[in-house]
Amino acid sequence: MKILVVGSGGREHAIIRALLRSAGATELLCAPGNPGIAADVECVDVAADDLDALVELASGREVDLVVVGPEVPLVAGLVDSLTAAGIAAFGPVAAAARLEGSKAYAKEVMEAAAVPTGAWSTVEGVDEGLAAIVGYPAVIKFDGLAAGKGVVIAADEAEAREALEQFLVERRFGDGQVVVEEFLEGEELSLLALCDGERAVPMASAQDYKRIFDGDEGPNTGGMGSYCPVPAVDEARVAELSAIVHQPIVDYFAAAGTPFHGVLYAGLMMTADGPKVLEYNTRFGDPETQAVLPRLRSDLAELLLAATSPGGLAGRELDWDPRFAVTVVLASAGYPDSPRLGDPISGLERISAPLELTCAGVADGDRSLVTAGGRVLN
């Protein structure tokens, strides 16, 4: 099976590493990839958001399956375009990817599907947002895509006003409304599931750390590290949680006529009142993928292809390595606000098994790899 992976980050590198272990994958391509990924597979210089060029690439190279990593091309409709061209694609169509593309829409879907979540409201102005907050701390979320940086936990009115002004006045992430949400207390949990339009097959549990500094301090990021599995969440508990947070969403989209294929990521808070969903992503999480996939013993290529067919995952059970996996993110100086680019990267030759390096925001420099993004190495 010839597979094209779309994306250029550590998540895509981890997907490729897992596919390299799959007997079902005979040839791998990545677009656009990065110099670290290029050490493992062929990379083609086509941007992840250039939908027409990606369809042309997949068609011209006679690709059997396209695996879409990032959220932007999913929300833009890459899977729709590939499917229309007769190319199998792992990921949701745009109508289902909107679950990640709009936090307000996700809340509406959760309510319709009876998925537990925190109290919320949408606002379009600073004063309206402040009036909607019933107590502090409060959670303030930009409605659209923000690369994991569109969530602020405001400790008081001053912080809430600053966040609302950034999102609604300064338009830090562009035009869009804001979701003001109840602050939930408990342990966070990341739970991913492979979906075939009819059912959700949960993967191993993981936990990620979003704050930039040690001790859970500083602003939120796209994720600074993760581990898998979470000791308190065994396979039986994973199945119970998936029935609460994954399957109702799959059923909702099936009934709406836009079956959900791909990965459904549920970010949960395990509260005293039970699990509640903080957010949904419609793709593999980053950096959770870098901790989850190294433990997967099942053939990932076969699973991803099966998920593109209605009911294709029926009877599938996932096999896992019993050991733990931990991933740590190395980020550029200045991340997340203004990462410094072009710094040389050294010491990679000292990494050896059982450690595994995946590359994210890297580029070729004169004598070595250099930083080319916020999150650089995993």
Query: How much is the pLDDT for 147?
Result: 80
Query: How much is the pLDDT for 156?
Result: 97
- Asked if the structure places residue 178 within a domain, the reply is yes
Residue ending a domain, among 127, 161, 182, is 182
Please name the residues in contact with 251: beta carbons below 8 A apart, sequence gap of 6 or more: 113
Q: Name the residue with tokens 């990521």.
A: 265
pLDDT at 75 over 80: yes
Least Cα distance to 209 among 219, 200, 196 occurs for: 219
Claim to verify: residue 163 and residue 68 sit in the same structural domain? no
Least Cα distance to 245 among 266, 271, 259, 269 occurs for: 266
Residue 22 near residue 293, CB atoms below 8 Å: no
Residue 96 near residue 264, CB atoms below 8 Å: no
Average pLDDT of 210-224?
89
Query: How much is the pLDDT for 220?
Result: 83
Claim to verify: residue 167 and residue 213 sit in the same structural domain? no
Residue-wise pLDDT tens digits, 277-306: 999 999 999 999 999 999 999 999 999 999
Query: How much is the pLDDT for 375?
Result: 96
Query: How much is the pLDDT for 53?
Result: 99
Binning pLDDT at 50, 70 and 90, where does residue 216 land?
Answer: confident
pLDDT at 173 over 90: yes
Claim to verify: residue 189 and residue 178 sit in the same structural domain? no
Binning pLDDT at 50, 70 and 90, where does residue 219 land?
Answer: confident
| Total number of domains in the chain | 3
Query: How much is the pLDDT for 137?
Result: 97
Claim to verify: residue 44 and residue 152 sit in the same structural domain? no
User: Measured between alpha carbons, how far is 3 from 127 in angstroms, rounded to an integer?
Assistant: 50
CA dihedral 70, 337, 293, 117 (to 10 degrees): -80
pLDDT over 70 percentage in the chain: 100
The CATH number of the domain where 210 resides is what?
3.30.470.20
Please name the residues in contact with 350: beta carbons below 8 A apart, sequence gap of 6 or more: none
Binning pLDDT at 50, 70 and 90, where does residue 148 land?
Answer: confident
pLDDT at 272 over 80: yes
Residue ending a domain, among 182, 204, 226, is 182
- Domain span at 36: 2-97
Whole-Å CA distances, 311 to 58, 228, 314, 346: 24, 27, 6, 47
Query: How much is the pLDDT for 337?
Result: 87
Claim to verify: residue 169 and residue 271 sit in the same structural domain? no
Claim to verify: residue 219 and residue 157 sit in the same structural domain? no
The CATH number of the domain where 174 resides is what?
3.30.1490.20
pTM: 0.95
Residue ending a domain, among 97, 129, 152, is 97
Q: Name the residue with tokens 């979003």.
A: 210
**Residue burial 184-197, b: 16+ Cβ < 10 Å; e: rest:** beeeebbbbbbbbb
- Asked if the structure places residue 222 within a domain, the reply is yes
